């Protein structure tokens, strides 16, 4: 079936118990994945995929020495595979699911990779670890890998448009099990039937709890999607070998939709996936996602930009008497309401704390990895400052979400003067994108200290021309970190 015919058949997929005349959503996802080709992608989509590969590699190598990344790498390195994949930064060939996990931990850990905001927020570049691992293990071309990335973005973002699963107590990487399974199945060249079973297996055992992102946060906050990516790859491996999964996974008596409905108390509610042909071309949802300019949870990006703007007008931060942040509901719910956010004790809590992130931008005049070192976020003087930081909901900002991701920062000085700055579209947002040059500078800030500028230039050149490469193995070799 041609890609346009598949897209037309997926105009709006409303999950209902399928009749004999209706294909399940898993069937339709499988047909879409099997039909998509690199030639279907627009020039803009291809370019954006390259940008996200560069951004993800930078984030991964920048976080390579962090504790959870090291733990994941050590565990994954216990296993080897004949047709394996490289654990990023090493020469070790692990089974592709383990490689996806170890690499995924690195991509995600700094909370610096990209974002998609909708009913459910997501970090769709988390999918890239699974694609790199499977593409290397099966010898897929650079174009095939890029097509699989575009597919994974498309699926995860469309699912995020369908329903907020965090409202039901589930974590957003739950959607990632489906997207990575489909991307892996595409690279393995599975037929539609085996691809459908990969989706079924991924769905039945891929549900993550939202507890990962509430209270005092742990390593798992930055590891949860890496686990989903490993599960998606594992599901496709099983399906390739002939394993079948329970169906229909979305519409069934005890399937995904029923669990959503029961949790909501609205059994009749339907889970509509608006999987439509995009005027920007097939699998172009990546164009609606945003790159982070600062290493912190995305809803804080506009607050950081506002705080840094105000910091330039303040000669001495010790003259700040109080800070008031007006934000939207999603931001307050996720990073601005729990008491732990005013006394962060872990890096994971600090980079998910709207009051801390805004305060440290005002105090230090910068937000980098240094602001998330334990000695900084546990400084008693910082905690004392946070006692004078208030977060409130703003109905106007909430109504603009998620098209705008706005924050208003008010700073009152000890002399009584108040400074105010509002930012709706922070730098890197899909409506205010970073340039290729700015993206490369972000990459260099993260990678150059370890690998040097000349070697970074080689990585960038290879990534920008990945569509001309026979595979991803040369790129993975370039990413080896010094011991």
Position 261 scores a pLDDT of 73
Q: According to the model, what pLDDT value does residue 168 have?
A: 86
Question: Residues of 394-418 as b/e, b for ≥16 C-beta within 10 angstroms?
Answer: beebeeebbebbbbbbbbbbeeeee
Q: State the average pLDDT over residues 97-103.
A: 98
State residue 270's pLDDT score.
61
pLDDT exceeds 60 at position 10: no
* pLDDT at residue 17 tops 70: no
For 389-409, write each residue's pLDDT tens digit.
999 999 999 999 999 999 999
Average pLDDT over residues 66-80: 97
| Rounded Cα gap, residues 338 and 353, in angstroms | 9
Contact (CB, 8 A) for 405 and 298: yes
The confidence band for 30, taking pLDDT boundaries of 50, 70 and 90, is very high
Using pLDDT thresholds of 50, 70 and 90, give the confidence band for residue 478.
very high
pLDDT at 88: 98
> What is the arithmetic mean of pLDDT over 202-223?
89
Picking from 146-150, 158-162, 164-168, 289-293, which range would have the lowest pLDDT averaged per residue? 164-168
The average pLDDT across 293-310 equals: 97
pLDDT the model gives residue 403: 92
14: confidence class by pLDDT, cuts 50, 70, 90: very low
More confident residue, 261 or 5: 261
Phi, psi (deg, nearest 5) at residue 322? -160, 160
How would you label 256-280 residue by residue, b for 16+ Cβ within 10 Å and e otherwise?
bbbbbbeeeeeeeeebebebeebee
Q: What is the pLDDT of residue 275?
A: 61
Tell me, letter by letter, the H, E, C secondary structure of 399-423. Answer: HHCCCCCCEEEEEEECCCCEEEEEE
User: What integer pLDDT is reported at residue 9 of this predicted model?
Assistant: 40
Per-residue pLDDT at 445 exceeds 80: yes
Q: Is the pLDDT of residue 308 over 50?
A: yes
Could you give the CA distance from residue 28 to residue 24 in angstroms, rounded to a whole number? 6
**What's the CA gap between 264 and 143, in Å, rounded?**
41
Q: At 276, is the pLDDT very low, low, confident or very high (cuts 50, 70, 90)? A: low
Residue-level pLDDT at 15:
35
Token pair belonging to 52: 């996200």
Task: Walk me through the domains of the chain, giving residue ranges and CATH numbers.
Answer: 3-288 (1.10.4100.10), 298-423 (3.30.1330.120)
Show the DSSP H helices in 96-221 as ranges: 96-109, 128-138, 142-162, 173-187, 192-204
Instruction: Kindly report, residue by residue over 366-378, the tens digit of the pLDDT.
Output: 999 999 999 999 9
Task: Give the pLDDT band (50/70/90) at residue 264.
Answer: very low
What does the alpha-carbon distance between residue 21 and residue 38 come to, in Å, rounded to a whole number? 31
The reported pLDDT for the residue numbered 12 is 41
Q: Is the pLDDT of residue 137 over 90?
A: yes
Q: What backbone torsions phi and psi does residue 219 show, to the nearest 5 degrees?
A: -55, -35
Percent of the chain residues topping a pLDDT of 90:
84
| Banded pLDDT at 3 (limits 50, 70, 90) | low
Residue 180 has pLDDT above 50, yes or no: yes
Q: Containing H/E element for 7?
A: helix 3-9
pLDDT exceeds 80 at position 19:
no
Residue 207's pLDDT is: 86
């Amino acid at each position: 079936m041609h890609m346009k015919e598949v897209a037309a058949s997926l105009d709006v997929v409303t999950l209902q118990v399928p009749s004999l005349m209706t294909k399940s959503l898993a069937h339709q996802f499988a047909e879409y994945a099997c039909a998509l080709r690199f030639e279907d992608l627009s020039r803009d989509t291809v370019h954006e995929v390259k940008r996200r590969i560069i951004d993800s590699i930078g984030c991964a190598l920048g976080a390579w020495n962090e504790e959870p990344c090291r733990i994941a790498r050590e565990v994954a390195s216990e296993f080897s595979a004949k047709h394996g994949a490289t654990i990023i930064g090493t020469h070790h060939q692990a089974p592709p699911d383990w490689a996806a996990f170890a690499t995924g931990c690195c991509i995600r850990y700094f909370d610096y990779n990209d974002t998609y905001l909708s009913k459910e927020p997501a970090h769709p570049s988390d999918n890239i670890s699974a694609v790199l691992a499977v593409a290397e293990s099966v010898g897929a071309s650079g174009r095939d890998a890029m097509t699989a990335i575009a597919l994974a973005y498309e699926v995860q973002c469309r699912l995020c448009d369908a329903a907020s699963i965090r409202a039901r107590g589930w974590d957003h990487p739950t959607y990632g099990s489906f997207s990575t399974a489909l991307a892996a199945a595409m690279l393995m060249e599975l037929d539609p039937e085996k691809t459908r079973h990969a989706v079924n297996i991924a769905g039945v055992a891929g549900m993550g709890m939202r507890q990962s992102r509430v209270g005092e946060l742990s390593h798992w906050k930055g590891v949860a999607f890496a686990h989903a990516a490993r599960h998606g790859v594992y599901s496709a491996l099983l399906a390739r070998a002939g394993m079948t999964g329970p169906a229909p996974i979305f519409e069934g008596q005890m399937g995904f939709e029923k669990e959503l409905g029961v949790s909501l108390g609205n059994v009749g509610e339907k889970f509509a996936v608006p999987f439509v042909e995009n005027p920007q071309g097939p699998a172009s949802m990546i164009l609606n996602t945003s790159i982070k300019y600062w290493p912190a949870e995305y809803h804080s990006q506009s607050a950081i930009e506002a705080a840094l703007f105000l910091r330039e007008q303040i000669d001495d931060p010790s003259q700040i008497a109080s800070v008031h942040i007006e934000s939207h509901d999603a931001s307050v719910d996720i990073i601005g309401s729990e008491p732990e956010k005013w006394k962060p004790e872990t890096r994971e809590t600090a980079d998910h704390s709207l009051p801390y992130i805004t305060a440290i931008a005002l105090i230090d005049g910068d937000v980098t990895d240094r602001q998330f070192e334990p000695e900084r976020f546990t400084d008693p003087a910082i905690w004392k400052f946070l006692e004078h930081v208030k977060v409130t909901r703003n109905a106007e900002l909430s109504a603009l979400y998620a098209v705008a991701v706005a924050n208003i920062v008010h700073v009152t000085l000890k002399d009584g003067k108040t400074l105010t700055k509002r930012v709706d579209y922070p730098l890197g947002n899909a409506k205010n994108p970073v340039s290729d040059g700015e993206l490369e500078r972000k990459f260099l800030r993260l990678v150059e200290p370890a690998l040097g500028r000349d070697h970074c230039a080689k990585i960038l050149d290879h990534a920008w021309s990945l569509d001309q490469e026979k595979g991803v193995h040369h790129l993975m070799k370039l990413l080896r970190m010094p011991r």
